[in-house]
Homo-oligomer: A and B are copies of this chain.
Amino acid sequence: MTSGGSQTLADIGEFGLIDAVASAFAPTPAVLIGSGDDAASLATSGPVLVSTDLLIERRHFRRDWSDPVDVGHRASAASLADIAAMGGTATGLVVGFGGPPDLPVAWVLELAEGMAEEVAKVGATVVGGDVSSTDQVILAVTAFGHAETEPVTRGGARPGQVVAIAGRVGWAAAGLAVLGRGFRSPRAVVEAYRRPDVPYAAGPQAAAAGASAMIDVSDGLLADLGHIAAASGVAIDVESGALEIAEPLEAVGSAVGVEPVRFCLTGGEDHALAATFDADAALPDGWRAIGRVAEGSGVTVDGEEYEGPAGHTHFG
């Protein structure tokens, strides 16, 4: 990854960029035809799970807040987490990349390095892509995978079940709050924002343990539980005392004047998984109960409506 130097995308050109980046991605046994043809061919067993995500400069990341390796991790994590949230495991990604002509090639090579590291965590690889010049850096990441079980949708939650999560919530939001105010610490939350630590294996484990509904927390815990509630036709209540408020979140909360539990309830992009299980089910390792499913609609916190936005949205 030392090639590139001070070259820009305009210097290297479309095909030069593709050649330079493609070598970052190691083939896996599932890749029957890799990049460099009209389409890739991936071995499958059973139905293919597909999810696509956009990561847009200044909307989802800033080049002065995240280095390209981090952006590569985050862009891959968002799509890999979607496959995990169906109870599946990703096998391949395709990536559409756009950047301005004066973008350094080295930036893109480091981005590819981050993507390669993140997809390797689940045994997947990047099998193809497309590049174009654009005004702002854009990444369109599509992941494919398969599930050993029936895929777990958002629509299966039933009254009386418990709501549980795996992974961290609130950390990325706390990191973003810090960066937005021009700071770089506490380092743990800034790192969490830059590079989410996604509990990929928890998805298939939850599916095997009988999870009835599942989602990845990308918009915010309340917003995403709201998607489960709406799709399942149920109400969900979160017990705020069950959420671990880690020390760095306390520190950021008091520094910026925000109740730290708000980070956990409304912060997205940690890509925790949230799922519902029968009340008497043994939760798999790494999962902890944080609430209850009931008859009705909507999401409450400790039995009350929660004030303020439940998560972020676009075009707002």
**Residues in B neighbouring A40, C-beta threshold 8 A:** 49-51
- B54 and A50 contacting across the interface, CB-CB below 8 Å: no
In the complex, whether A20 has a CB less than 8 A from a CB of chain B is no
30 A-B contacts, Cβ less than 8 Å apart? A13-B313, A13-B314, A13-B316, A14-B313, A14-B315, A32-B151, A33-B153, A36-B231, A38-B81, A38-B83, A38-B86, A38-B154, A38-B214, A39-B83, A39-B143, A39-B145, A40-B50, A41-B50, A44-B46, A52-B94, A52-B95, A52-B130, A52-B140, A54-B97, A59-B132, A59-B134, A131-B314, A135-B136, A138-B138, A140-B140
- B54 and A98 contacting across the interface, CB-CB below 8 Å: yes
Nearest B-chain residue to A17, judged by Cβ: B315
Q: What range describes how many residues of A lie at the interface?
A: 35 or more
* CA–CA, A54 and B14, complex, Å: 13
In the complex, whether A265 has a CB less than 8 A from a CB of chain B is no
Copy total for this chain? 2
* CA–CA, A125 and B140, complex, Å: 19
> Closest 4 interchain pairs by CB?
A140-B140, A39-B51, A38-B85, A52-B94
**Residues in B neighbouring A131, C-beta threshold 8 A:** 54, 314
CB-CB contacts below 8 Å: A47-82 with B: 47-54, 56, 59-60, 81-82
A105 to chain B, nearest CB (A): 10
